[in-house]
Amino acid sequence: MFGLIAGMLVTLACSASNIFAADAHWVTTWGCAPQLTEPNNLPPAPLANSTLRQFVRPSIGGKNLRVRFCNVFGTDAVTIHSAHIALAAGKGSAGSGEINPATDKTLTFNGAAEVVIPRGESVYSDPVDFDLPALADVAISTYFGDISATTVTGHPGSRTTSFIVPTNAVSEVSLPAAVKTKHWYIVTGIEVQADNSSRTIVVLGDSITDGRGSTDDGNNRWPDALAERLITNALTAKVAVANMGIGGNAIFGGLGPAAVRRFDRDMLEQAGARYLIVFESVNDIGGRRSSMTTATNIVDAFKEFAAKAKPRNIKVYGATITPFGGNGYYSDLHEAERQYVNAWIRTNNVFDGVIDFDAAVRDPENLIKFKAAFHPGLYANDWLHMNPTGYKAMADAIDLNLFVP
């Protein structure tokens, strides 16, 4: 599927490749799961002939990195005239769009500033020397040429402010006149060159993992909180986290490619992947046509995920489904399905370990609901997603020894 062709642009089907030069070890330090952007989440201003500045927060740091640009869902080629990377101006400045100009670096593609990404493919930038601290906000500024206005590869649930201006402004310190949006487009990964002890946890999830209920520009989803714990723990300080959650996603359907369809690309093919966390299926259970057969099918899919990971020497951890009593998803049948899947996760010998999110957040006096202190306050009946306090409780419940070789 992938190849390195001397003197030619390296392209791939929107995946991280594990085929590199023998002396290179690339590790995904930040990533998002690509999907076809729905009509109501398309850019609020044209991307063609405009600069798009997007902020992301990588987990582990490094001195050499590359960026992945993805056009897997585009019906037309995407032209990038120029792309730059820089650190944000300071803590909290990602929301204002400001960069630190002293850190601004040009990204190149096979030595050229410009690149054309064919439909259905993606490209990596050339490796660039860049002093990337752990957990630093990073700006990726892209000046586009041609790009479709209606079939855009993106990640709508960024919960991070992006900035669009109708000119080449990739090196501008601030973009005060920019049109703002809370979505990511085209950019899907950052990898750092690291020693052999560095590795990545890849998380398969839905909107709970994608961070619905978290703070815009706050980076306080549960995978973010996990990354902070890992970095500050000596034995796991070289472990990165790649959040592959998609809002509305499901094992067999939902928004974005179904988990069974995207598992290889989004999970197994992330550079440096050594651990997978599978925290998905509440949207399958919450569907109107679900049944106990749905629950057994979920278990079969989990078995398939583990079977795919083992030959790659990747450990897979199953996370129990959190309570959703009080949400529209709840019914006696759906609760029985949740309990069935959770019982299997807790007792199986297929996964390499268990992360018991259910036990971490449930109300001890009403086990079908999570604690009231974790309610996000978005809607009165949203007893599915949590607030940053709840997401921190989830991250705090994870045994970091799971990620020690």
3-state SS, one letter per residue, for 26-45: EEEEEECCCEECCHHHCCCC
165 shares its domain with 272: no
Helix, strand, or coil (residue 112): strand
317 shares its domain with 398: yes
Give the Cα-Cα-Cα angle 204, 127, 105 (nearest 5 degrees): 105
Cα separation, 137 vs 404, in Å, equals 26
170 shares its domain with 207: no
* pLDDT at residue 160 tops 90: yes
- Tokens 């129990």 belong to 320
Share of the chain above pLDDT 90, in %: 90
Among 190, 212, 234, give the residue marking a domain's end.
190
The residues with which 47 forms a beta bridge, in sequence order, are none
Total count of domains within the chain = 2
C-alpha neighbours within 13 Å on the C-beta side of residue 345: 28
Nearest to 2 by CA among 365, 240, 268, 283: 268
Tokens of 382: 């949203």
Residue 88 gets which letter from DSSP? B
Cα separation, 238 vs 315, in Å, equals 17
Q: Structural domain of residue 171, as residue ranges? A: 11-190
- State the CB neighbour count (10 A cutoff) for residue 197: 10
Q: Is residue 2 part of a domain?
A: no
* pLDDT at residue 1 tops 50: no
On whether the CB atoms of residues 272 and 278 are closer than 8 A, the answer is no
Starting at the earlier edge strand, list the strands of the sheet with 153-155.
Answer: 35-36, 153-155, 184-185
Q: Is residue 4 part of a domain?
A: no
On whether the CB atoms of residues 120 and 74 are closer than 8 A, the answer is yes
Q: Is residue 180 part of a domain?
A: yes
pLDDT band at 292 (very low <50, low <70, confident <90, very high): very high
162 shares its domain with 217: no
Question: What would the mean pLDDT of 155-164 be, rounded to a whole number?
Answer: 98
95 shares its domain with 218: no
Q: Is residue 162 part of a domain?
A: yes
138 shares its domain with 203: no
Q: What is the CATH number of the domain that holds 362?
A: 3.40.50.1110
Residues 6 or more apart from 230 whose CB is under 8 A from it? Answer: 59, 201, 236, 237, 239, 241, 400, 403
Among 170, 190, 210, give the residue marking a domain's end.
190
On whether the CB atoms of residues 317 and 278 are closer than 8 A, the answer is yes
155 shares its domain with 273: no
DSSP H or E stretch at residue 393: helix 388-396
Share of the chain above pLDDT 70, in %: 93
354 shares its domain with 375: yes
165 shares its domain with 26: yes
252 shares its domain with 106: no
Work out the mean pLDDT of the chain and round it to a whole number. Answer: 93
Distance of CA 248 to the CA centre of its chain: 14
What is the DSSP annotation of 208-250? Answer: HHHTTTS-TTT--SHHHHHHHHHHTSGGGTTEEEEEEE-TTB-
Q: Is residue 293 part of a domain?
A: yes
- Of the listed ranges 178-182, 288-292, 397-401, the least confidently predicted one is 288-292
Q: What is the pLDDT of residue 379?
A: 87
Q: Is residue 3 part of a domain?
A: no
Q: Is residue 245 part of a domain?
A: yes
Q: Is residue 381 part of a domain?
A: yes
What does each C-alpha distance from 31 to 160, 253, 284, 288 come to in angstroms? Answer: 14, 22, 24, 32
* pLDDT at residue 11 tops 60: no
CA-based R_g, the chain, Å: 20
Nearest to 210 by CA among 15, 38, 32: 32
Among 171, 190, 209, give the residue marking a domain's end.
190
153 shares its domain with 236: no
Q: pLDDT digit string (tens) for 213-268?
A: 999 999 999 999 999 999 999 999 999 999 999 999 999 999 999 999 999 999 99
0.85 surpassed by pTM: yes
Number of helical (H) and strand (E) elements in the chain, helices listed first: 8, 23
* pLDDT at residue 5 tops 70: no
234 shares its domain with 362: yes
pLDDT band at 92 (very low <50, low <70, confident <90, very high): low
Nearest to 386 by CA among 323, 295, 308, 293: 323
